[in-house]
């Protein structure tokens, strides 16, 4: 078994464990490299935790 194969299996195991704990697997296409985050996930989090302030600026996005 090559080192790459072992690393790939290790990564899969980590992802499976994170998903079992509630983590959501993201689509790489939605990742903003310049901001280093998933913009939609960030905005969803703010909307769900701070509904009033969000209403004031969400139109900007």
pLDDT tens digits along 6-17: 899 999 999 999
Number of domains in the chain: 1
Pair of tokens at residue 12 = 């899969």
Find residue 32's DSSP bridge partners: 37
Local confidence band at 2 (pLDDT 50, 70, 90 cut-offs): confident
CA-CA distance, 51 to 46, in Å (whole number)? 7
Beta strand spans in the chain (E)? 31-32, 37-38
The pLDDT of 33-40, averaged and rounded, is 92
Pair of tokens at residue 49 = 């935790």
On average, the pLDDT of the chain sits at 83
Domain assignment of residue 40, given as a range: 3-60
pTM: 0.50
CA-CA distance, 51 to 40, in Å (whole number)? 15
């Amino acid at each position: 078994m090559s080192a790459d194969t072992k690393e790939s299996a290790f990564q899969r195991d980590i992802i499976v464990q994170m998903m079992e704990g509630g983590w959501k697997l993201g689509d790489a296409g939605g990742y903003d490299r310049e901001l280093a985050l998933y913009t939609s996930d960030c905005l969803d989090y703010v909307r769900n935790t701070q509904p009033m302030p969000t209403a004031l600026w969400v139109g900007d996005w």
